[in-house]
A and B are shown apart, each in its own frame.
Chain A
Amino acid sequence: MTSAPEKAAVAAAAEAAGQGRRRLPWGPMARLVGRRAVFAVPVLLTVTFGVFAVAAASPFDPVKAYAGTAGLTASQENLDQLRANLGVDKPLVSRWWDWLTSALQGDLGDSSTLRQPVADAIGERIGWSVLLAATAFVLAILVGSALGVLAARRPGGWLDRGVTSLAYTLEAAPPFWLGLLAVWLFALKLGALPAGGLTDTSSTAVTAAQVTNHLVLPAAVLAVSQLPWFVLYVRQGVGDALGDDAVRGARARGLAERTVLLKHAFRSGMLPVLTLVGSRVPELITGALLVETVFSWPGIAAATVQAATSVDFPLLAALTALATVAVLLGNLLADLLYGLADPRVGFDG
């Protein structure tokens, strides 16, 4: 149920977008969400099973890891007892099924490195990661679109060539390298921004001002690392749209260049970018992992690296499943946006 203020806000947004009183197609959108939810079940089943299968195929022995140096001298009975206690003596499928059924009840197991339940470990970190990734993504879309439109305006001009070369170079640059150079320039040389962390080391309270100050540099670096794709796609889309009949018609009617570019070419040229929003989510997560590491951001990256270094299987399995859910959500969001932006496509996907 949507409340009255929400409805009013939606109507106002539609009004502002110049779409008159067009109602949002809630029914088809809900059906799309439902279909995707059903499709997500086999995907998550397969991915988690794959994770368990890789672990089973690896030489890693959870019992030896758990026992540590004591495992070298322990008797075979003790090791077998430990194996039974940890539940790793069971076959692959039943271990996976046990994990799955308890995961559905909210119990993702205990993280051995962080010494707390996996659900808590992820819960207290995920918010910061989402904040960083979302800020960077919005920034990348806005700046990327602006640069893409500018580049498409004069194909082959100096601005186009400059922006395109920059985009290809940034595409090849590893985000962690960009992050380190940004730390050197902005934190060490200019002293303008903090080099990492969430708050100043001297302060104990987490205030909005501190977080914003510490967010600027990591978010900017992550946005810059995601920028090339948006620049190139918008440039291509708007460039193609500039040759469309509709845009020629607009030009023929003598509309101002600005109107032609922003109201006609940009609106149809943005459509491919919406699919890009969905397909960039995995890369966004990858980039966020690296950028968080550079800036010691208290998100899930540190936990992931720690879990990987000490082979914390429950945490790794949960993180992989979580990332898959994030990717599926991104795809869903992109398809919803596309359906809204282009009514010809609809919500059948």
Chain B
Amino acid sequence: MADAPPTSVADTPVVWRSAAGRSVVGARKPSRSTRAWRVWSSAAIVTAVVLAVLIVPPLVDLDEQAVHLADKLLPPSLEHPFGTDDVGRDLLLRCVYGLRVSLLVGVVAAVVATVIGTAVGALAAASGGWVDRVVMRLVDVFSSVPHLLLGIFIVAMFRPGVWPVVISVALTHWLSTARIVRAEVLSLRSRPYIDAAISGGASRWRVTVRHLLPGVLPQAGLAAVLMVPHAIWHESALSFLGLGLPTHQASLGTLVQSARSSLLAGDWWPTLFPGLFIIVPTLAIAGLAGAWRDRINPRRRSELML
């Protein structure tokens, strides 16, 4: 897309003085150093999360299921930084194991959803005509069912276990990726190099797979990364409702669910920390994905994250 020439005065940056005498600038983006700080802190958190998830379970020889009834519901202390739950299990360890399960479910679901979405979007755009219309109309139709409700329905039909949760999240999240990929393929299709490939005698299949799909991958990858927090959120919601993973398996959702009875007795820490383990990685992933998007498409820099 070529940049449109400025059509009004509003496109030229002008500094205004507001009533309070403070300057109001047209382009309101954070300074370079603020952005760099954001990217680096996000990267640090994501690295820490990935390391914790990959390294702690095999290296640290601690049993997260170990029950110490004498130590039940201890508030956060040096020995147990997040406190202990109602049967005396260390919550920091439970949270790391929970994050491991949630992240695994989130990543697998996001990958499956992205593959489905990319395939459907590319198929629609490359086929054109009635296939495109029918497929995209179906995407519209299924976008009007609330994700969680459709997810609950799918889980109810296929449960119990981890895979029904993954399938449920994947099947409800590919719709937006299909839209993004279709739009991207349509815009790429009018590029000269596609015309060159077609006049060189490339088949429709070859043009799609060798020339269009590689061009779409950055956008699809970005959508996949942004989908991981959504998928984790979705998994935790299902687990909280008692429809996701089995209760004994620590995931961030089941941790919050099993903390409910302790909370009603006045102990806040079993509820607080698993929630923080959802929020902080979500913000970090969104921060990194935002930086990546700025690199792909600087014009959208001021738009909303997530």
Contacts and interface: CB of A to CB of B under 8 A. Distances in A.
Q: Do A and B come from one complex?
A: yes
A156 B24 CA distance: 9
B10 interface: yes
B278 A43 contact: no
Contacts of B264: 183, 188, 195
Interface in A275-316: 282-283, 285-286, 289-290, 293, 304-305, 307-309, 311, 316
A290 B279 contact: no
Given A55-B157, A245-B9, A282 B266 contact: no
Interface in B171-196: none
Contact of B142 (A50, A233, A309): A50
Chain A interface size, as a band, is 35 or more
B263 interface: yes
A181 interface: yes
Contact of B263 (A168, A180, A290): A180
A311 B243 CA distance: 11
Contacts of B145: 47, 282, 320, 323-324, 327
A319 B274 CA distance: 30
B296 interface: no
Contact of B304 (A51, A184, A232): A232
Secondary structure of the B contact surface, majority rule:
helix
Contacts of B150: 320
A71 B275 CA distance: 42
Interface string A145-178: 0000000011111000000000011011110110
Contact of B144 (A154, A180, A189, A328): A328
A304 B243 CA distance: 11
A204 interface: no
B205 interface: no
Contacts of B14: 243
B28 interface: yes
B191 to A, nearest CB: 30
Contact of B260 (A153, A180, A251, A282): A180
B99 interface: no
A207 interface: no
A282 to B, nearest CB: 4
B157 to A, nearest CB: 4
Given A282-B147, A308-B156, 20 more contacts: A46-B141, A46-B142, A47-B142, A47-B145, A58-B157, A153-B18, A154-B18, A156-B28, A172-B283, A180-B259, A183-B263, A184-B268, A242-B24, A248-B10, A282-B144, A283-B146, A289-B149, A289-B152, A308-B243, A320-B149
Interface of B: 8-10, 14, 16, 18-20, 22, 24-26, 28, 30, 138, 141-142, 144-150, 152-158, 229, 233, 236-237, 240-243, 256, 259-260, 263-264, 266, 268, 271-272, 274-275, 278-279, 282-283, 286, 302-306
Interface of A: 42-43, 46-47, 50-51, 54-55, 58-60, 153-157, 168-169, 171-174, 176-177, 180-181, 183-184, 188-189, 195, 232-233, 236, 239, 242-245, 248, 251, 256-257, 282-283, 285-286, 289-290, 293, 304-305, 307-309, 311, 316, 319-320, 323-324, 327-328, 331
28 contacts: A50-B142, A54-B153, A55-B157, A153-B18, A154-B18, A154-B24, A155-B28, A168-B283, A168-B305, A171-B306, A172-B279, A172-B286, A174-B278, A177-B271, A180-B256, A180-B260, A184-B271, A233-B304, A242-B24, A282-B144, A286-B146, A289-B148, A290-B237, A293-B241, A305-B241, A316-B156, A319-B149, A320-B145
